[in-house]
Amino acid sequence: LITRAFRSQFVIPDFQDFIKDVEEMYWAAKSNSDGKVASYIPQLARASAENWGVSVCTIDGQRFSIGDVNVPFTLQSCSKPLTYAMALETLGPDVVHKYVGTEPSGRNFNELVLDYNMKPHNPMINAGAILVCSLLKTLDRPEMTLAEKFDYVMSFFSRLAGNEPLGFNNAVFLSEREAADRNYALGFYMREHKCYPEKTNFRECMDFYFQCCSMEANCDIMSIMAATLANGGICPITDEKVLRPDSVRNVLSLMHSCGMYDYSGQFAFKVGLPAKSGVSGAMLIVVPNVMGICTWSPPLDPLGNSCRGLQFCDDMIKRFNFHKY
């Protein structure tokens, strides 16, 4: 980092100027009072609508954070690109995509629907993520108990985040599992259609999915994960090669087409960047070869995306030419 600084070789050379823009965009979005905090479980409903944080980590490790960036939130659907990345890395894309498709569903994230092959449409919606969890549980180191698998996945996520420790919210986990009629319906529907690998333990696989949704991180940590994805799978903080470039390409492609719920097409059109949102109000945004961003603000629009997060992205695309096209 220091050598690059002396040579002025940073990917964003005028980082201080960039920070000024980020601050302006942050304050502009802060006054946005649109949206409603997710309320399908009481633990999420308690989140404060006021919370708003933005963290940036460039591929050469320059970092900036503003707002509530150290307050923990559960990963929720932001875990989906991470479990998918891990499955690609350990099992390879051919195995993973024998079981799950690569097509936007055009429907809600938890809708009871499979594609024309009777597979889940993609790994970024609930059905696909439950399936990816079954692959990780059943095919990758099948000898591991559920407890060992939990540790194994958590430490993989942590490596994506420069070895920052992740947390786990047991109250959210327990109530996710209690309030999971739709997810169980999806799970059983896929079992009916023989979507899982042989020997899948259905209950364990569902629990594993709820556990992944209930892991905790904050903006600061998640921006490093996004930066690892922006940097071809090499974590900019530790320089560890966590993902192969082909895994990163697959993850980013599906974040681009399927990461923002049923707004993904519009987001790809307007913002043109791979991103993934979750019901806790978090958003992972990747500017390939430049930086990773995490925004967090709990109030969601009717499609489930964070209102302030979306405003931040719109604003950023007006100021910088990050849109892929």
211 closest CA partner among 82, 113, 100, 54: 82
Answer yes or no whether residue 35 interacts with ligand DON by CB under 6 A. Answer: no
**Between 41 and 96, CB nearer to ligand DON:** 41
**Between 231 and 277, CB nearer to ligand DON:** 277
Answer yes or no whether residue 228 interacts with ligand DON by CB under 6 A. Answer: no
CB 190 within 8 A of CB 131: yes
Binders of ligand DON in range 283-322 (CB under 6 A): none
**Between 177 and 233, CB nearer to ligand DON:** 177
Binders of ligand DON in range 102-141 (CB under 6 A): 109-110, 125-126
Separation of alpha carbons 88 and 97, rounded Å: 9
- For the CA atoms of the chain, what is the radius of gyration? 19
What Cα–Cα distance (Å) separates residue 298 from each residue in 2, 56, 76, 309?
37, 19, 12, 9
Answer yes or no whether residue 213 interacts with ligand DON by CB under 6 A. Answer: yes
* Residues labelled as active-site residues: 77, 80, 209, 261, 279
**Between 108 and 201, CB nearer to ligand DON:** 108
**Between 62 and 126, CB nearer to ligand DON:** 126
Number of residues that bind ligand DON (CB under 6 A): 11
Residue 49: which region, alpha, beta or left (left: phi > 0; alpha: psi -120 to 50)? alpha
Among 25, 56, 224, 279, interactor with ligand DON by CB under 6 A: 279
Least spacing, CB of residue 168 vs ligand DON, in Å = 14
Binders of ligand DON in range 76-105 (CB under 6 A): 76-77
| Adjacent-strand bridge partners of 283 | 277, 295
Least spacing, CB of residue 321 vs ligand DON, in Å = 29
Answer yes or no whether residue 278 interacts with ligand DON by CB under 6 A. Answer: yes
Among 176, 207, 220, 262, interactor with ligand DON by CB under 6 A: 176
Least spacing, CB of residue 76 vs ligand DON, in Å = 4
What Cα–Cα distance (Å) separates residue 120 from each residue in 84, 128, 169?
13, 5, 27
What Cα–Cα distance (Å) separates residue 255 from each residue in 77, 287, 300, 317?
11, 12, 19, 17
Least spacing, CB of residue 162 vs ligand DON, in Å = 24
CB 166 within 8 A of CB 234: no
Q: Which residue is nearest to ligand DON (CB)?
A: 77
Q: Is 172 exposed, middle or buried (0-12, 13-18, 19+ CB in 10 A)?
A: buried
**Between 274 and 278, CB nearer to ligand DON:** 278
CB 46 within 8 A of CB 86: no
136 closest CA partner among 99, 175, 161: 99
Least spacing, CB of residue 181 vs ligand DON, in Å = 11
CB 65 within 8 A of CB 218: no
Least spacing, CB of residue 135 vs ligand DON, in Å = 17
Residues that bind ligand DON (CB under 6 A): 76-77, 109-110, 125-126, 176, 183, 213, 278-279
